């Protein structure tokens, strides 16, 4: 029951969200799903060859191929193997996904490993890792509660204007946890900064009527994979970067639907605090 309640939150929507302008993307055409056709198997073998040649992003893609059963039989252990290989080369999407699997998997559930890889992704400014670590450190389900650490991650997510931050703050308020003592940095920003209160007296991001909404249809998954393979033809200057400055924005693998995990579609129930009755709280079951 405990694991099942956690596992509802991580229904991950594979989409790319831009904050420079308000972009609504339609990811359906570029979602990665189980596929055993000859074409899918060909892509699998091409990426496996690219990984052998030293392209760290190819490890990330292979991990997702194994997780979803794209061109190969589903194998969660192999998925973790390749994602962790990519993680060694500083691929933030791989670090995030490895951490997520260890949090949602029944076979490989390991909160300590999950936090380890989520921290790596957060160190490289992968914003979804920041908000997830913030929730994990106050939710008191998988790791020991530490509100000071939670505050440090949530304030980073707030400064990145993560769309789910208002829901986290509202959940903390409902449980009586949101105050200057528990969350000094995050609490201070809500008094002086960007968030507004709606008619229900809940925190929300302010709406900007001047922002143009653009709907973008994602390209087919084969086009995205072809683009990634084409990039591998360039000379490899390095097999990866261990520098903090390497951003997901510069990585092709982060912007393809199979490489970018967003929290925009996660159920609100995840963002609550689990109370004594067991209602609310962190809940999750995910497909990658």
Distance, in Å, from the CA atom of 150 to the CA atom of 75, rounded to the nearest integer, reads 33
Q: Given its phi and psi angles, is residue 200 left (phi above 0), alpha (psi -120 to 50 degrees) or beta?
A: alpha
Dist. CA 247–CA 277, nearest whole Å: 41
Phi, psi of 110 (to 5 degrees): -160, 95
Domain boundaries, the chain: 2-271
276 vs 138 pLDDT, higher one: 138
Query: What's the confidence (pLDDT) of residue 26?
Result: 47
Which has the higher per-residue pLDDT, 10 or 62? 62
Q: What is the pTM of this model?
A: 0.74
User: What is the overall mean pLDDT for the chain?
Assistant: 76
- For residue 257, pLDDT over 70 is answered with no
Question: Is residue 183 within 8 Å of residue 151, measured between CB atoms?
Answer: yes
Give the largest Cα separation in the chain, rounded.
59
- Does the pLDDT value for residue 219 go beyond 90? no
Q: How far is 128 from 125, CA to CA, in rounded Å?
A: 9
31/184: higher pLDDT = 184
Query: Is there a contact between 204 and 166 (Cβ–Cβ < 8 Å)?
Result: yes
Task: With cut-offs at 50, 70 and 90, classify the pLDDT of residue 117.
Answer: very high
Please give the pLDDT value at position 212.
57
Name the CATH architecture for the domain at 2-271: Alpha Horseshoe (1.25)
């Amino acid at each position: 029951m405990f694991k099942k309640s956690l596992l509802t939150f991580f229904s991950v929507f594979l989409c790319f969200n831009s904050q420079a302008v308000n972009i609504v993307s339609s990811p359906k055409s570029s979602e990665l799903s189980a596929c055993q056709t000859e074409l899918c198997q060909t892509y699998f073998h091409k990426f496996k060859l690219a990984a052998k040649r030293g392209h760290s992003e190819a490890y990330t893609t292979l991990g997702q191929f194994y997780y979803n059963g794209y061109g190969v039989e589903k194998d969660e252990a192999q998925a973790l193997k390749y994602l962790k290989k990519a993680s060694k080369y500083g691929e933030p999407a791989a670090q995030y996904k490895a951490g997520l699997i260890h949090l949602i998997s029944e076979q490989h559930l390991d909160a300590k490993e999950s936090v380890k890889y989520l921290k790596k992704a957060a160190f490289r400014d992968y914003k979804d890792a920041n908000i997830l670590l913030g929730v994990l450190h106050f939710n008191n389900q998988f790791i020991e509660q530490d509100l000071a650490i939670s505050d440090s991650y949530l304030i980073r997510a707030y400064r990145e204007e993560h769309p789910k931050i208002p829901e986290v703050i509202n959940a903390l308020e409902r449980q009586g946890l949101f105050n200057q003592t528990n969350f000094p940095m995050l609490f201070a920003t809500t008094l002086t900064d960007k968030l507004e209160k709606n008619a229900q007296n809940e925190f929300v991001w302010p709406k900007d009527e001047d922002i143009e909404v653009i709907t973008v249809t994602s390209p087919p998954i084969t086009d995205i994979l072809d683009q990634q393979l084409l990039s591998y033809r360039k000379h490899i200057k390095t097999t990866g970067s261990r520098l903090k400055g390497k951003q997901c924005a510069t990585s092709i693998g982060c912007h393809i639907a199979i490489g970018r995990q967003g929290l925009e579609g996660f159920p609100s129930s995840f963002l609550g605090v689990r109370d004594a009755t067991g209602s609310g709280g962190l809940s999750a079951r995910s497909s990658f």
